[in-house]
Structure 1
């Protein structure tokens, strides 16, 4: 197994001390030349009886500036000794008295000592401010400023030119759960504990930088992609360990992004940018670790451009709603529909919702997009109430958006809209974070008379808890349970249990993803209330949907 180097605090210090050695030599030579030049000028101008000995104060002050107290005193003493051998009057060959040069030495030492002490205080103050600027005040770890400086310094070292340099960004993706449950101090303690274990898990004990409240960075030297993968595996194992925070055992979920560069022209900003793109890609794809690939950069740029286009599309009112009917399995009539956002293009094509909505949900645009959907659905329900309630989807961000809930209530109160004509669908994942807050939000919606269904039912892990505590009115069983109904007896039994449970709680049960007559027949036999899927039709533009509903009604007895 190939060894690799990890930059540590000791290495930074050692390399930093090596770099200025030649500068120290240049400074010492410069001071010596200034002292000799001053001595020659004093002698050439007649000796110490004249004003020129004050020229020797220049190297004294420079020495104090460069080397503080020690430099000021050493150069002052050297200047005093040189002046002690200088005649008082060179032309007349009159020597100085002992008291004369001793007083001058004392003056030089006093000036050198005081100025050196003042420069030392200034340097210490600047050092404290520099340390503060490079340190995260909450955890005591080095911060983003330190990372940029150290990485840039490392890349400028002659020893690293042509070698590979890697950067790993480690994010605690569920740190908000710790903050919500235990507070910010616990989160800082967790990050500090993680940094110590990360350093212990990697050969060389790397220096950890805290560059965000939930992110750490590690600089790696002389490694390859295999080493990156191996280190990432170790770090992920560290994340799986238990951490005792405020006497409570805590586990965390990590996401890692890494980048690797080689050559003389590597820039620290490129390494950081690529590692961050890799980290974002890992988070978006639900992966533990992603190493940067040029395709990620293109994808990231496309995402930024897509979000910008969504913003413009909202302003230009380019979005529309398509409607997919829900069918009552008792009599076959249309009993409602689901309003689904669509983005028509100039060439008549549609941008698939799966291409832009997941990205929109991670930005502040999710609120105005959902506001648009709510207004459009309410307007359609008012104009075409005969075809049942219109349901819209709420994301986890929407559920805690008070403005959206206020809008829903306003639509019911101020628009000619009966509350039963509007329904919201909430995924199980939106309920996982804060059940109490979810209950308050759903209760506000229910108080307005608007129905609330759980979408994709059965795919989460807290189903029974929220069925017990949330004031919901319906369940929408996920399509994965419908797909196996015709070929799997266990799937039919499980479906029967979910339908029976929903009815026991007085909930309307809808099955989505119905694609065959056989699936529809089985659902009808099991007592399911409503069905939705391509067996009937996909989502249609408003005019086509109304025409379909009318044609469907004409086929019924």
Structure 2
């Protein structure tokens, strides 16, 4: 109950006004605000100008009646203010009509006294406050108090409806925080919640009063910039400036407890106007698509939606559907790329590489379908197919020391990954002593503790480990020393220009020296010329693989290739 209620009495009988005012004085003393209107038009004007806590309305008001006022308050002005109807007769039909129009209570004047009137007022105000709270919860996020998705769609509908009267462009910004999941998982949800509250405060500081901020859930936020300009270029510039202001604000360290946390945000922007036929869902989808483009561009940046993106998205979805079918039908085969000793040319192993043999389109490059598998979550099923196939073919490679199998970060950090590998080994009766698991830096850095625990379990089984694409990420030497890797693979991007680029040559030399210091075997990938191979030999690398040595070949051809090398 409010401490100092504001009450408007709508009554055309002076005696009743005097009587009601006396009851209010007895109930509230001087702790209330009172105004009086004698007709419905005057009462509605006052209601539109002043924020009242309750209306007391006589049923009969000359040519009008109190139910008209109730209906106008609820349907036209849409005020969440309780209305108590006062009448001189005890009529059940009037009671029902009043409740249907939206009145919160119905009192017969002959039965009113100070106590009953006070009780009705306090109950009605409390009931409306409860309704307001329930409505707030339905349309707002509990943590940040920002409007939620339901209210966003409602606001978008209202914005689109106003387009019938003008052609002003609006903008929608879709924000997704970078690195939030890592912080939330490693430091706990309470830290994550504190971070989201601070982000909300910074978003409010980076936007104008007329802009609207929404939280979709998790670490996703929406900014609606309504009706900026008739010129799309001006709207785009305004949206870009807001995005830059937001990124600058969020990039500052956020202190939670004593920990400075560093995050960024990827922002997708879409423009829409009265000439568009877009729906709220379409607008939101376009902004979401642009946000993923910002993520793909390296995060902590903003990208605008272009209609060309739609065709790209449709192509990606079509590829994903085809990939799903390919996994169910196992349209894959493994090729193997030999690895040889740089000094003797003797084969020391081979890397298993998956190829998709589409029934209509032939061989599809892994450059196309591996990212799709990663993004869609199909990488788990695809990874199982690859590992199972390698295990089934392993008995054919008796004289080949090891077969390397690539493991994605998502696969490796899945909770049941170790169990699945054990099941496949048992199913295929395969020995892990001849299998090497290749991890990338992203897999290693995703969760260091989980990586260390799982690597130990696999080492205890008999697996060896190779760190793939070394030099392209941000590996810490400390992590590398702690984790039980056996092999370090120099990324092909450095080998390609190793002769022409002193910088790449220097990196390769440093990686080889680092590997030696850590007692790791060094493999150079992407060897395409005799000069590449000679460089690796001169610098002390152990082995090499690439087109100069052999293209990826089938299991049968790999055995023949190995036998030919042995014969020579």
TM (norm. structure 1) is 0.79
Is 1:456 aligned to 2:469, yes or no? yes
User: Which residue is equivalent to 2:306?
Assistant: 293
Of 427, 437, 450 in structure 1, the residue corresponding to residue 440 of structure 2 is 427
Structure 1's 111 and 300: CA in aligned 2 closer, same or farther, altered over 3 A?
farther
* Distance in 2 separating the partners of 1:362 and 1:289: 20
How do 1:282-431 residues align onto structure 2 when only pairs under 5 Å count?
282-287=294-299, 288-347=301-360, 349-412=362-425, 415-431=428-444
Structure 1's 32 and 255: CA in aligned 2 closer, same or farther, altered over 3 A?
farther
* Distance in 1 separating the partners of 2:433 and 2:377: 29
User: Which residue is equivalent to 2:196?
Assistant: 191
* Distance in 2 separating the partners of 1:309 and 1:471: 38
> C-alpha displacement at 1:370, in angstroms?
0.7
User: Which residue is equivalent to 1:258?
Assistant: 269
* Distance in 1 separating the partners of 2:221 and 2:537: 54
* Distance in 2 separating the partners of 1:348 and 1:143: 44
Q: Is the 8 Å Cα contact of residues 67 and 97 (structure 2) preserved in structure 1?
A: no
Is 1:278 aligned to 2:290, yes or no? yes
Of 534, 537, 556 in structure 1, the residue corresponding to residue 547 of structure 2 is 534
Q: Is the 8 Å Cα contact of residues 525 and 544 (structure 2) preserved in structure 1?
A: yes
* Distance in 2 separating the partners of 1:289 and 1:160: 31
1:261-311 CA-to-partner distances (Å, cap 9, x unmatched) read 111655322221211121123223434212111222222222222222222
* Distance in 2 separating the partners of 1:214 and 1:35: 51
Is 1:269 aligned to 2:274, yes or no? no
User: Which residue is equivalent to 2:134?
Assistant: 129
User: Which residue is equivalent to 2:260?
Assistant: 249
* SS, match of residue 485 in structure 1: coil
Q: Is the 8 Å Cα contact of residues 259 and 275 (structure 1) preserved in structure 2?
A: yes
Q: Is the 8 Å Cα contact of residues 327 and 382 (structure 2) preserved in structure 1?
A: yes
* Distance in 2 separating the partners of 1:259 and 1:182: 34
Structure 1's 413 and 507: CA in aligned 2 closer, same or farther, altered over 3 A?
farther
> C-alpha displacement at 1:67, in angstroms?
6.2
User: Which residue is equivalent to 1:163?
Assistant: 168
Structure 1's 356 and 109: CA in aligned 2 closer, same or farther, altered over 3 A?
farther
Larger Rg: 1
Which ranges of structure 1 fall in alignment gaps of 5 or more residues? Answer: 1-16, 22-26, 39-52, 77-103
* Distance in 1 separating the partners of 2:174 and 2:470: 35
User: Which residue is equivalent to 1:6?
Assistant: none
* Distance in 2 separating the partners of 1:300 and 1:155: 25
* SS, match of residue 356 in structure 1: helix
Structure 1's 409 and 521: CA in aligned 2 closer, same or farther, altered over 3 A?
same
Structure 1's 35 and 220: CA in aligned 2 closer, same or farther, altered over 3 A?
closer
* Distance in 2 separating the partners of 1:263 and 1:488: 54
* SS, match of residue 386 in structure 1: coil
Structure 1's 294 and 422: CA in aligned 2 closer, same or farther, altered over 3 A?
same
* Distance in 2 separating the partners of 1:443 and 1:136: 43
Q: Is the 8 Å Cα contact of residues 58 and 66 (structure 2) preserved in structure 1?
A: no
Structure 1's 109 and 275: CA in aligned 2 closer, same or farther, altered over 3 A?
farther
> C-alpha displacement at 1:222, in angstroms?
2.2
* Distance in 1 separating the partners of 2:58 and 2:310: 50
> C-alpha displacement at 1:461, in angstroms?
1.9
Structure 1's 345 and 486: CA in aligned 2 closer, same or farther, altered over 3 A?
same
* Distance in 1 separating the partners of 2:92 and 2:370: 72
Structure 1's 127 and 402: CA in aligned 2 closer, same or farther, altered over 3 A?
closer
Which ranges of structure 2 fall in alignment gaps of 5 or more residues? Answer: 1-43, 49-56, 69-87, 229-234
Q: State the number of aligned residues.
A: 490
Is 1:507 aligned to 2:512, yes or no? no
> C-alpha displacement at 1:449, in angstroms?
0.9
Q: Is the 8 Å Cα contact of residues 269 and 304 (structure 2) preserved in structure 1?
A: yes
Q: Is the 8 Å Cα contact of residues 163 and 274 (structure 2) preserved in structure 1?
A: no
* Distance in 2 separating the partners of 1:384 and 1:401: 29
* Distance in 1 separating the partners of 2:315 and 2:501: 42
1:468-487 CA-to-partner distances (Å, cap 9, x unmatched) read 10011111111122123323
Q: Is the 8 Å Cα contact of residues 357 and 363 (structure 2) preserved in structure 1?
A: yes
Higher RCO structure (Cα 8 Å, ≥6 apart) = 1
Structure 1's 59 and 167: CA in aligned 2 closer, same or farther, altered over 3 A?
farther
